[in-house]
Chains A and B, each alone.
Chain A
Amino acid sequence: MMGMKVNWTPVSETSLMLYFGDEIDVKQAPLIGEVARRIKAEYQEVCEVTASYTSILVQVHSPRIKLEEFGDGLLDMISRSVIAEKSEGKLIELPVYYHSDVGPDLEMVARSNGLTVAEVIAIHAGRDYTVCAIGFAPGFAFLADVDARIATPRHERPRAKVVTGSVGIADRQTAVYPMDTPGGWQLIGRCPEPLYNPDQVPLSPFGVGDRVRFVPVERADYIERGGHV
């Protein structure tokens, strides 16, 4: 992988961190995602791989594994791998019903940015996003970059309950809440598709590096797809 500066550092008895630079670069996400998938697929001694914006936490099963050799081996694998610089993850299209009935902050996001609701929707659905990290809750994908024109800070006080499927904005990130959780993001719509189901494989559609496109749908379509108002 040309031009990629990767290093590793021990974290615990059985885990180490791979760092891919110290600044967030959305274009790097597909590479990090691909490396994470390879580590998981090719190393039997690995029990957990957690990819994020600029890093991958790798945990091995056994403390008998020498992290020094293992970490250097990972760097070697990464340097030898032919991972296309322009590799892109898969494209995931998600329907969204953008309306204040299901997106209680939609009008506020429009107002605070000097836009109409229709403009906010057009801007939010007008570009593809990259999955930069998955966490916070199962299947919760941090998507970047949100257009600066609709970037809006989180609520100062998080809501005690954000309903499953809610589509939110936090600064220049966006996400769909895969389950009911507390949350502070600005809610602008709702996606009717289930994004976390422990009874199916995969558990959630997202992998780091994948692309997500939001497709606006009408109320009737949203309800037909299983959405609730």
Chain B
Amino acid sequence: MSDFDHTTKGLKVLRTGVRITIQDLGRFGYAGHGLSQGGAMDLQAHCWANRLLNNPVNQPTLEITIGMASFCAECDLMLAITGADMQAELDGEPIGNWRSFAMRRGQILRFKPAEKGMRAYLATKSGFQAAPVLGSCSTVERNRLGTVLREGDVLSAQACDHEAAAHVPAKYVPDYPDAIELRVIESYQAVQFSSDELAKFYQEDYRVTPDSDRMGVRLEGGPITPPSGGVISEGIALGAIQIPPDGQPIILLNDRQTLGGYPKLGVVARVDLPKLCQARPATRIRFAPISIEHARQEWSEFCDYFSI
């Protein structure tokens, strides 16, 4: 999946750490063919990274999972980092997070393992020059689309004069705590769950399990008995909460399969997905109901703010 022209100039990958993929807002219009939407898992961090550089919000960013990645600049660049704090250093000097910074040709950018959160986003002024496929640069490994970066890859980026660094105002910088609440729009088969099971779902403390990935976050806690009778396979929306026969909820995310036949309680509010996507294994999760109108209003404000 890595097909770079090694004569281009830009940002060279020295170490990939666990995984680095190219992501944008996602690939839409192909679910009918079975393609996953992909896109940045933490949309809030992705959007801020672009905003710090005055980029359009759909410019591709690098999604750095867990950390331990390093890069070398082959020309002068303006970059921005957001998301999980991986204590980035430029030639050994800490540079902070949720901010833009200049990186001069020859400098080395290093990320340590994230202490909080799962994913950091690295943007460059004018965006990395990745070729879109089907309207998007997003990487979905299970669909063999996009790019999982390898050591030695050079991300073509536009050399640019240095600008004043910008940072995200402190009040907008999210913390990624080890206990979070997710608000749920009840839909799909919610009315088929017994009221006792639904009540249990909202009272229970769940934990994120390690076998969570871009397809979905698997939780562990008091099992919820799904309604009997099964569900005819149907389209799965982003954030859908699926209850398989073992009663342990799975929240389906960007690289989810397009169809599924397990009962679903509803979907997690879009504006709450960034904190879920940053939740590390063992993070405690509680659920609370939200009306669809309230959730729509908050998502609408998010979209307006970032011009989505």
A interface residues (Cβ-Cβ under 8 A, vs B): 9-15, 17, 22, 24, 36, 40, 47-57, 59, 62-64, 67, 133-140, 142, 179, 181, 196, 198-199, 202-204, 206-208
Chain A residues with Cβ below 8 Å from B234 are 17, 50, 52-55, 57
Chain B residues with Cβ below 8 Å from A14 are 270, 296, 299
**Bound complex: CA A14 to CA B232 (Å):** 22
Beta-carbon nearest neighbor of B187 in chain A: A11
Chain A residues with Cβ below 8 Å from B188 are 11, 17
Beta-carbon nearest neighbor of B302 in chain A: A63
Chain B residues with Cβ below 8 Å from A138 are 30, 33-35, 143
Inter-subunit contact B34/A36 (CB<8 Å): no
Chain A residues with Cβ below 8 Å from B32 are 36, 40, 48-51, 134, 207-208
How many pairs, one residue from A and one from B, have CB atoms within 8 Å of each other in the complex? 135
**CB-CB contacts of B232-251 with A at 8 A, as 1s and 0s?**
11111111100000000000
6 more CB-based (< 8 A) A-B contacts, given A14-B296, A14-B299: A12-B185, A13-B185, A51-B32, A53-B233, A57-B31, A137-B143
**Bound complex: CA A213 to CA B235 (Å):** 26
Known contacts A50-B258, A135-B259: A12-B267 contact under CB 8 Å:
yes
Chain B residues with Cβ below 8 Å from A137 are 34, 142-143
Inter-subunit contact B144/A12 (CB<8 Å): no
Of the residues A10, A15, A140, contact of B34 by C-beta under 8 Å:
A140
Chain A residues with Cβ below 8 Å from B179 are none
Q: How far is the CB of B289 from chain A (nearest CB, A)?
A: 14
B interface residues (Cβ-Cβ under 8 A, vs A): 28-35, 37, 133-134, 142-145, 185, 187-188, 232-240, 257-259, 267, 269-270, 292, 295-297, 299-300, 303
Q: How far is the CB of A224 from chain B (nearest CB, A)?
A: 26
Inter-subunit contact B270/A13 (CB<8 Å): yes
Inter-subunit contact B270/A135 (CB<8 Å): no
Residue from B37, B145, B232, B257 with most neighbouring chain A CB atoms (10 Å): B232
Residue from B29, B233, B236 with most neighbouring chain A CB atoms (10 Å): B233
Inter-subunit contact B232/A11 (CB<8 Å): no
Known contacts A64-B300, A136-B257: A24-B232 contact under CB 8 Å:
yes
Known contacts A133-B259, A138-B143: A52-B34 contact under CB 8 Å:
no
Interface of A is mostly: loop
Q: How far is the CB of A135 from chain B (nearest CB, A)?
A: 3
**Bound complex: CA A108 to CA B234 (Å):** 31
Inter-subunit contact B33/A134 (CB<8 Å): yes
Inter-subunit contact B259/A136 (CB<8 Å): yes
Chain A residues with Cβ below 8 Å from B143 are 137-138, 198
Known contacts A47-B29, A203-B35: A13-B232 contact under CB 8 Å:
no
Residue from B234, B240, B295 with most neighbouring chain A CB atoms (10 Å): B234
**Bound complex: CA A137 to CA B35 (Å):** 7
Inter-subunit contact A48/B259 (CB<8 Å): no
Beta-carbon nearest neighbor of B37 in chain A: A48
**Bound complex: CA A90 to CA B154 (Å):** 45
Of the residues B33, B134, B299, contact of A13 by C-beta under 8 Å:
B299
Inter-subunit contact A48/B29 (CB<8 Å): yes
Chain A residues with Cβ below 8 Å from B267 are 11-12
Inter-subunit contact B292/A10 (CB<8 Å): yes
Chain B residues with Cβ below 8 Å from A204 are 33-34
**Bound complex: CA A112 to CA B234 (Å):** 31
Chain B residues with Cβ below 8 Å from A67 are 292, 296
Chain A residues with Cβ below 8 Å from B295 are 12-13
20 A-B contact pairs sorted by A residue (CB < 8 Å): A10-B292, A11-B240, A12-B237, A14-B270, A24-B232, A36-B32, A40-B29, A40-B32, A49-B32, A50-B259, A52-B232, A53-B232, A57-B236, A133-B259, A134-B34, A134-B259, A138-B35, A142-B233, A179-B144, A198-B134
**Bound complex: CA A40 to CA B31 (Å):** 11
Of the residues A56, A63, A202, contact of B33 by C-beta under 8 Å:
A202
Chain B residues with Cβ below 8 Å from A48 are 28-29, 31-32, 37
Inter-subunit contact B303/A63 (CB<8 Å): yes
Known contacts A198-B134, A198-B144: A9-B33 contact under CB 8 Å:
no
Known contacts A198-B134, A198-B143: A136-B237 contact under CB 8 Å:
no
Inter-subunit contact A12/B239 (CB<8 Å): yes
**Bound complex: CA A5 to CA B27 (Å):** 32
A-B CB proximity, top 9 nearest: A57-B235, A135-B259, A50-B235, A63-B300, A13-B296, A47-B28, A135-B258, A12-B267, A138-B34
Inter-subunit contact A55/B235 (CB<8 Å): yes
Chain B residues with Cβ below 8 Å from A208 are 32
**Bound complex: CA A191 to CA B35 (Å):** 21
Q: How far is the CB of A25 from chain B (nearest CB, A)?
A: 11
Beta-carbon nearest neighbor of A58 in chain B: B235
Inter-subunit contact B232/A54 (CB<8 Å): yes
